[in-house]
Amino acid sequence: MGARRAGVAAVGKGPQSRYGCGCSPCPKPMPEPAVVPVRVWDLPTRVFHWTLALAVVGSVISAKIGGNAMVWHFRLGYVVLTLLAFRLLWGLVGGRWSRFASFAYAPSTLWRYLRGRAAPRQPLDVGHSPTGALSVFALLGVLLAQLGTGLVADDEIAHQGPLNRFVGTDMAMGATSWHKGWGQWLLLGLVALHVATIVWVLLKKNTNLVRPMLGGDKPLPPGTPASADGLPQRALALLLAALCAGLATWVAELG
């Protein structure tokens, strides 16, 4: 009887089997993890996102203050020019989920997503979802419109955009009206909708969309393709950002 108990004790204290338990043999292997951290947002995309947010907020505030603060409004406008030019290039050569090809969805895909009938195994929530993609393209489009109209605007008091001298008076006045009116409110509305969506997803779906944009990783099923985010990609992003900054500097010197 004592020998039998010693034998049982020896089995219990033996080395763990390849299945992760102390018995051998084990009838079932340990299950695969449901989710693992996957790099979705590369560092250049994250830096772009938060720098653009700060630049837009600062640009709006400086415009509201007016006066001497308009100097900063123009400076931040050139920062936005640099960032948008970079994002257009990075949307072609950046990390997998930052490329426009990864979230340029067909209307039929958007319709299925809205109805909750997405195709099986279709990764619609890894990067930008179909509705999130609409928000991104809308924001980029309105920002480009605001930037373009600002570059040719003329407030008829003390400030002109650096490209104002290349357009006629009627076009400059129309651009100024859009920039200070509909364009401004449309941009603020899209930003408010963007923030509200983040809060809604957090409360209703218990999904934090901010954390991945800070750290880069997102908990996803094993095997989900990751975005390349190594030294070569970051060096390329730095080179593109420098070129875009040079473009913005050249535009500023035209004024």
**pTM of the complete model:** 0.85
Assigned domain for 5 exists: no
Q: How many domains does the chain have?
A: 1
Strand partners, 154: 160
Q: Does the structure show a pLDDT above 80 at 36?
A: yes
Strand partners, 160: 154
Assigned domain for 132 exists: yes
- State the pLDDT at residue 10: 44
Q: Are 172 and 153 in contact (CB under 8 A)?
A: yes
d(CA 84, CA 82): 6
d(CA 8, CA 99): 59
What is the length of the chain? 255
Report the CATH number at residue 39: 1.20.950.20
Residue type, 41: W
What average pLDDT does the segment 172-190 reach? 95
Q: Are 148 and 187 in contact (CB under 8 A)?
A: no
Assigned domain for 216 exists: yes
For residue 134, the enclosing domain spans 10-253
Q: Which of 228, 232, 215, 229 lies closest to 37 in space, CA to CA?
A: 215
Q: Are 82 and 248 in contact (CB under 8 A)?
A: yes
- State the pLDDT at residue 115: 85
Assigned domain for 227 exists: yes
Assigned domain for 205 exists: yes
Assigned domain for 124 exists: yes
pLDDT classification of 24: cutoffs 50, 70, 90: low
Assigned domain for 1 exists: no
Residue pLDDT, tens place only, 73-104: 999 999 999 999 999 999 999 999 999 999 99
Q: Give the H or E element holding residue 183.
A: helix 182-205
Residue pLDDT, tens place only, 116-166: 877 666 778 899 999 999 999 999 999 999 999 999 999 877 789 999 999
Assigned domain for 3 exists: no
More confident residue, 34 or 85: 85
Measured from the Cβ of residue 80, the count of other Cβ atoms closer than 10 Å reads 22
- State the pLDDT at residue 118: 73
